[in-house]
Homo-oligomer: A and B are copies of this chain.
Amino acid sequence: MNDAADTNFPITDRNRIRRRHERGRFDKATVYDILDSAMVAHIAYVINGQPFCTPTGFWREDDVLYWHGSSASRMIRNQSDGVPVCVTATHLDAIVLARSGFHHSVNYRSVMAFGTARLVTDAAEKTRAMDGFVDRFFPGRSKEIRPPNGQEIKATSFVVMPIDEASGKIRSTHVSDEEEDYALPVWTARIPVRQVLGEPELCPRHLPGLEVPPGMRGYTEGRNLDEVLLEAYRMEYGTRD
């Protein structure tokens, strides 16, 4: 799924970086890696002029984002032309304490993706999305679990959005102070932040003797979630490149 990864998103008035433009990234390789390292995105949409921001599980296939039923579903259902949305994924990487309030910061990687979202209504596309949602995070798992039944397919909403424009934004440096401030006796540091996995807690009604499936072997205690998710993504989609 990286056939377009050597190209850039167009820069328009919508995805132009307005603050700290030196942190902007428009190449698809960087934007996709940030998206594919995340499990949850925040979706902004508008109902009658009121903005809503909903956290939800999402994933990417080529230039298209999918996400799992949200409170926007009802609204989107009645908009056959689709609705404008902004999908944002963010990783917090460090807290940066400086010698002035002005230079306090955080290190992060984020992507804002813009496009027109519509509800997945076709039953075949919906079934494919249900499997894709599981397999994207847990490679091969849709073949290991009970397949969805008609009632579940009916009860599940998926939203699909081809990415029209996107921009990434990254801060990854250390403390950056005014030159004259380095002489101040202020305790100053960068504190790393990681999202890590704990030890998997088996379901209390788990059958005895089941082995950890190959697609789940990366999910081990202490690993960084973003790295595991990117690895899982490549395990699932790698062969399609």
Contact = CB atoms under 8 A, between A and B. Distances in A.
Interface of A: 14, 18-19, 39-40, 42-46, 49-55, 57, 69-71, 74, 84-88, 90, 92, 94-95, 97-102, 104, 106, 108, 110, 112, 114, 130-131, 133-134, 137-138, 141-142, 144-148, 152, 155-156, 174-175, 177, 181-207, 210-213, 216, 219, 225
A19 B70 contact: yes
Contacts of A204: 174
Q: How many of these chains are in the complex?
A: 2
Given A192-B197, A205-B182, A213-B187, A55 B148 contact: no
A204 B188 CA distance: 9
A187 B216 contact: yes
Contact of A55 (B69, B88, B155): B88
Contact of A49 (B18, B50, B84, B200): B84
A201 B187 contact: no
Closest 7 CB pairs of A and B: A192-B198, A44-B53, A44-B44, A42-B42, A44-B51, A53-B88, A189-B200
Interface SS, A side: mixed
B198 A196 contact: no
Contact of A202 (B43, B188, B198): B188
Contact of A97 (B53, B100, B138, B191): B138
Given A51-B46, A201-B174, A145 B100 contact: yes
B190 A203 contact: yes
A186 B144 contact: yes
B194 A196 contact: yes
